[in-house]
Structure 1
Amino acid sequence: MSSQPAAPEPLISLYETIAGDEDARVCRDIPADACHAQPVNFFVHLVSNTLSKIGDELASARLVLAWMLGALGAPAAFAGFLVPIRESGSLLPQLFVAAAIRRQPVRKWFWVLGSVGQGLAVALMAVVALTLEGAAAGWAILALLVLFALARGVNSVAAKDVLGKTIAKRRRGTVMGYAASAAGLATLGLGLYLTLANLEQAGVGLFAALLATAAGVWWLSAAVFAGLHEQPGATEGGGNAVAEAMRSLGLLWSDREFGHFVLTRALLMSTALALPFYVLLAEAATSGSFVTLGLLILATGLASAVSAPIWGRASDRSSRQVLILSGLIAGLLGIGLATASWSGMAPALDGWVYAVLFFVLGVSHAGVRLGRKTYLVDMATQQTRAAFTAVSNTVIGALLLVGGLFGLLAQLAGTEFAILVLALFSLAGAASAWRMPEV
Structure 2
Amino acid sequence: MSREPASDTPMTALYETIAGDEDARVCSDIPEEACNAQPINFFVHLVSNTLSKVGDELASARLVLAWMLGALGAPAAFAGFLVPIRESGSLIPQLFVAAAIRRQPVRKWFWVLGSVGQGLAVALMAVVALTLEGAAAGWAILALLIVFALSRGVNSVASKDVLGKTIAKRRRGTVMGYAASAAGLATLGLGLYLTLANLEHAGVGLFAALLAAAAGVWWLSAAVFAGLHEHPGATEGGGNAVSEAIRSLGLLWRDRDFGHFVLTRALLMSTALALPFYVLLAEAATSGSFVTLGLLILATGLASAVSAPIWGRASDRSSRQVLIVSGLIAGLLGIVLATASWSGMAPALDGWVFAVFFFVLGVSHAGVRLGRKTYLVDMATQQTRAAFTAVSNTVIGVLLLVGGLFGLLAQLAGTEFAILLLALFSLAGAASAWRMREI
Deviation at 1:315, TM superposition (A): 0.1
Conserved? CA contact 1:122–1:214, under 8 Å: yes
Deviation at 1:395, TM superposition (A): 0.0
Q: Find the aligned partners of 1:372 and 1:28 in 2 and give their Cα distance.
A: 21
Q: Find the aligned partners of 1:346 and 1:293 in 2 and give their Cα distance.
A: 16
Conserved? CA contact 1:126–1:212, under 8 Å: yes
Query: Aligned in 2, Cα 1:38/1:411: closer, same or farther, shift over 3 Å?
Result: same
SS of the residue corresponding to residue 170 of structure 2 reads helix
| CA deviation profile, 1:217-264 (whole Å, cap 9, x unmatched) | 000000000000001000000000000000000000000000000000
Conserved? CA contact 1:123–1:215, under 8 Å: yes
Q: Find the aligned partners of 1:5 and 1:122 in 2 and give their Cα distance.
A: 40
> Which residue matches 1:370?
370
Q: Find the aligned partners of 1:119 and 1:155 in 2 and give their Cα distance.
A: 12
Q: Find the aligned partners of 2:201 and 2:347 in 1 and give their Cα distance.
A: 28
Q: Find the aligned partners of 2:4 and 2:24 in 1 and give their Cα distance.
A: 18
Q: Find the aligned partners of 1:227 and 1:367 in 2 and give their Cα distance.
A: 29
Query: Aligned in 2, Cα 1:239/1:138: closer, same or farther, shift over 3 Å?
Result: same
SS of the residue corresponding to residue 68 of structure 1 reads helix
> Which residue matches 1:152?
152
Conserved? CA contact 1:106–1:233, under 8 Å: yes
Conserved? CA contact 1:4–1:229, under 8 Å: no
Deviation at 1:169, TM superposition (A): 0.7
Deviation at 1:83, TM superposition (A): 0.3
Deviation at 1:347, TM superposition (A): 1.0
| CA deviation profile, 1:344-371 (whole Å, cap 9, x unmatched) | 0111000000000000000000000000
Conserved? CA contact 1:4–1:33, under 8 Å: no
| CA deviation profile, 1:310-365 (whole Å, cap 9, x unmatched) | 00000000000000000000000000000000000111000000000000000000
**Runs of 4+ with >3 A deviation:** 1-8
Q: Find the aligned partners of 2:74 and 2:117 in 1 and give their Cα distance.
A: 25
SS of the residue corresponding to residue 35 of structure 1 reads helix
> Which residue matches 2:183?
183
Conserved? CA contact 2:82–2:142, under 8 Å: yes
Conserved? CA contact 1:2–1:36, under 8 Å: no
Gaps of 5+ in 2: none
| CA deviation profile, 1:26-69 (whole Å, cap 9, x unmatched) | 10100000000000000000000000000000000000000000
RMSD: 1.6
| CA deviation profile, 1:346-402 (whole Å, cap 9, x unmatched) | 110000000000000000000000000000000000000000000000000000000
Deviation at 1:134, TM superposition (A): 0.4
Q: Find the aligned partners of 2:343 and 2:4 in 1 and give their Cα distance.
A: 64
Q: Find the aligned partners of 1:225 and 1:429 in 2 and give their Cα distance.
A: 34
Q: Find the aligned partners of 2:150 and 2:162 in 1 and give their Cα distance.
A: 19
TM-score under structure 1 length normalisation: 0.99
Deviation at 1:206, TM superposition (A): 0.3
SS of the residue corresponding to residue 386 of structure 2 reads helix
Gaps of 5+ in 1: none
| CA deviation profile, 1:187-225 (whole Å, cap 9, x unmatched) | 000000011111110000000000000000000000000
Deviation at 1:7, TM superposition (A): 6.4
Deviation at 1:5, TM superposition (A): 9.3
Deviation at 1:2, TM superposition (A): 15
Deviation at 1:70, TM superposition (A): 0.3
1:6-405 to 2 correspondence within 5 Å? 9-405=9-405
Q: Find the aligned partners of 1:283 and 1:100 in 2 and give their Cα distance.
A: 45
Aligned length: 439
Query: Aligned in 2, Cα 1:413/1:388: closer, same or farther, shift over 3 Å?
Result: same
Conserved? CA contact 1:2–1:32, under 8 Å: no
Q: Find the aligned partners of 2:36 and 2:158 in 1 and give their Cα distance.
A: 21
Q: Find the aligned partners of 2:32 and 2:306 in 1 and give their Cα distance.
A: 34
Q: Find the aligned partners of 2:323 and 2:246 in 1 and give their Cα distance.
A: 29
Query: Aligned in 2, Cα 1:5/1:119: closer, same or farther, shift over 3 Å?
Result: farther
Conserved? CA contact 1:108–1:230, under 8 Å: yes
Q: Find the aligned partners of 1:249 and 1:376 in 2 and give their Cα distance.
A: 16
Query: Aligned in 2, Cα 1:271/1:355: closer, same or farther, shift over 3 Å?
Result: same
Query: Aligned in 2, Cα 1:93/1:281: closer, same or farther, shift over 3 Å?
Result: same
SS of the residue corresponding to residue 192 of structure 2 reads helix
Query: Aligned in 2, Cα 1:304/1:7: closer, same or farther, shift over 3 Å?
Result: farther
Query: Aligned in 2, Cα 1:184/1:7: closer, same or farther, shift over 3 Å?
Result: farther
Query: Aligned in 2, Cα 1:163/1:403: closer, same or farther, shift over 3 Å?
Result: same
Q: Find the aligned partners of 2:344 and 2:187 in 1 and give their Cα distance.
A: 33
Conserved? CA contact 2:3–2:25, under 8 Å: no
Conserved? CA contact 2:50–2:179, under 8 Å: yes
Conserved? CA contact 1:64–1:207, under 8 Å: yes
Conserved? CA contact 2:4–2:25, under 8 Å: no
Query: Aligned in 2, Cα 1:261/1:3: closer, same or farther, shift over 3 Å?
Result: closer
Conserved? CA contact 2:94–2:393, under 8 Å: yes
Deviation at 1:3, TM superposition (A): 14
Q: Find the aligned partners of 2:258 and 2:12 in 1 and give their Cα distance.
A: 35
Q: Find the aligned partners of 1:58 and 1:12 in 2 and give their Cα distance.
A: 32
Deviation at 1:9, TM superposition (A): 1.0
Q: Find the aligned partners of 2:174 and 2:3 in 1 and give their Cα distance.
A: 26
SS of the residue corresponding to residue 395 of structure 2 reads helix
SS of the residue corresponding to residue 356 of structure 2 reads helix
